[in-house]
Structure 1
Amino acid sequence: MKSALPLVLNLSGRLVVAIGGGPVSARRVRALADEGAVVRVISPWVCEDLMELVLAGRVEWQAREYAGAADLSGAWLVHTAAGDAVVDRQVARDAEDQRTWCVNATDAAATAASIPARADVTTPDGRVTISTYAAGDPGLATSLRDGVADAVARGELDLRRTRKRGSAGWVALVGGGPGIDGLLTTRGNELLRSADVVVVDRLAPRAVVDRLPDSVRVIDVGKTPGHHAVPQWRINEILVEEASRGLGVVRLKGGDPYVLGRGGEERQACEAAGLSVEVVPGVTSAVSVPAAAGIPVTHRGVARGFTVVTGHEAIPGLPTGTDHTLVLLMGVTQLPQTVKLLVAQGRPADCPVAIVERGFSPTQRTTVGTLATIVELALARAVESPAVIVVGDVVRLSPDWPTHAD
């Protein structure tokens, strides 16, 4: 096309006639039906994907050949991909005569209308559509679309609204994983690039936060062992206060919001205030940090299950066999008491133990021992939080275990 003006059309409730029943037609028909269009397919046969839409009652199918201009009567848009260039040209001429835009999918150079390559991003404020048009080169348009979509997924493009949203804001509880950018989910990145305010934990991926635009307000509520500068009740209040001002708020946590992260309490507080809340799971450090140290929490023939508990409170009664893995989060401070309790509950003193400090960071360090030796080893090596403690036979699979055995 020598000239092109991209338009956004609201086809909801409007008739679109699609000529042809092949895969090309199926892709376009599905997209049109998803946008709420009333779609009529005219073709002597339809492919499996189109038949699925027909059986679901989402489109009308007239099983016959194209019969002429009368078939286009009342249509707001026409799409033709009959697989026969003569038929497609006739459909395009008939649509032109009645001043209806027609997409001729088999003749990119001559078509009067084109559907660009498209990708959708869902933000709490609504859908953002990325579309690209490359003057009859669908391969180039697709490549450009994918490049922009990838940049959005990596958190490189700003998705914040420039026009004031309604009176109600939103809250997203985002799991940041064990602290590195690469393990933050795509959805987490999208929400961070949509937020006006980010309420961040100490163990959240800080490099992502550092790259946010200056217009984003960052509220640090990080906790250290024994020192909670901002108590949980106040964190709940902050989320409600900021979102109630009509702002988009991301609560960025380390690990997963629902794995010993108090995300449930934060969600309840926000919903009690009538706020919309989205929860985005994160890669929990309970599994990922041991994995970074070469320790699987389960392994065939070694351990068939695992339990995750917080280590700064009394350890409840748990399976005592060394073939059941115990993962302790936030357990460094109470390690001596925890060891005594585990032995008292029935775990053998020679049960393997690993402490993985600063998982996934350049200074990651693993200390291995047994319940009989780990407290002394931790003191000697000045083990500090953040750390994940693993108790069970799976520790023998760690690359560091041979050193302990020696």
Structure 2
Amino acid sequence: MSTAATLPPLALYIHVPWCVRKCPYCDFNSHAAGAELPEAAYIDALLADFASELPAAQGRSISSVFIGGGTPSLLSAAAYQRLFSELREQIAFSADCEITLEANPGTFEQDKFAAYRALGINRLSLGIQSFAPEQLKALGRIHGRGEALNAASAARQAGFDNFNLDLMHGLPGQDLDAALADLAQAIDLKPTHLSWYQLTIEPNTEYWSKPPRLPEDETLWAIQEHGQALLAQHGFAQYEVSAYAQQGREARHNLNYWQFGDFIGIGAGAHGKLSHIDSAGHWQIERRWKTRTPKDYLNPEKAFCAGSESISSADLPFDFMMNALRLHAGVPSELYHARTGQPLSTLKPALTDLRRRGLLVEDEARLCATPQGQMFLNDLLQQFLAD
């Protein structure tokens, strides 16, 4: 069997680091855009960055692409046309490659949707966050309710039959009725996928230094419980901690992350995870990350890669399980060896104990947390930490 066939599937993550302005809750690597983006220079850098990563592909094709940020929809369709045209000269894309672009729902971005679809981007992820004007203002969003409502229709008219809506709950001052009204409105727009998750206050954000008043735990629990029931009622199955999809519309790119696949990361602040098998059959799995600031990333005198580290054999169980057990259906047990090169038998004592305690399902063919295990996932994962 060839190395390419033995290695995990390979995806591509592309980071666009600019936003019109920084939202107060956001801890992603994003920077306020100036009057004019260095679009052509950034595409040049992305292509050079990918060329430097190409040996790690080891003959594999790209199975999925995710363009995240920042606000990737700030870049023109012409920029993406050039990017993908030249990427395809370097590497093959699978025939059914899922290509997702994150977009703001503003009118400026909606005008580009048809052009994005025409060049081969086949999935949108729209950053709605809320439909309530007061919440949009509190969250620092630059679009209004009307634009949020129009975005799904604009995506569909542009030819996107597969799109995600990003929606948060547990927002400042939000009660149960308001959270469910937001969710019901999102469902009415008939997306194929919903990312529905609770707002958390992260370090190095404006909300961290000036925390807003968030709902009490009792309200947060009620929102979660009633919201999940509403989603299930409308055919959205929860397949991951904060991901819900219509049948067959799970995000393939994110599934690759959670199933411990490989991915090349290009762009300012992008991360990647890559596997290598040497001639003796020994595995090495490495994480890499790129320089964060656009200024440094565009500086030809600086390296794209800011650092890398190999995942030790002792740390692999935790790394694998931290991803795989986020999935409500878990993964086939055989995937552990297929994605790490390690025999599953080394984990037998921990797996036996967790099944005895009711935290993993009683099925040796699957690695899957029980509903109780999902509730105490962090505690469950402690069993796989290196001594």
Shorter-chain TM range is: under 0.3
- Whose radius of gyration is greater, 1 or 2? 1
TM-score in terms of structure 2 length: 0.25
- The normalised TM-score by structure 1 is 0.24
Greater helix share, structure number: 2
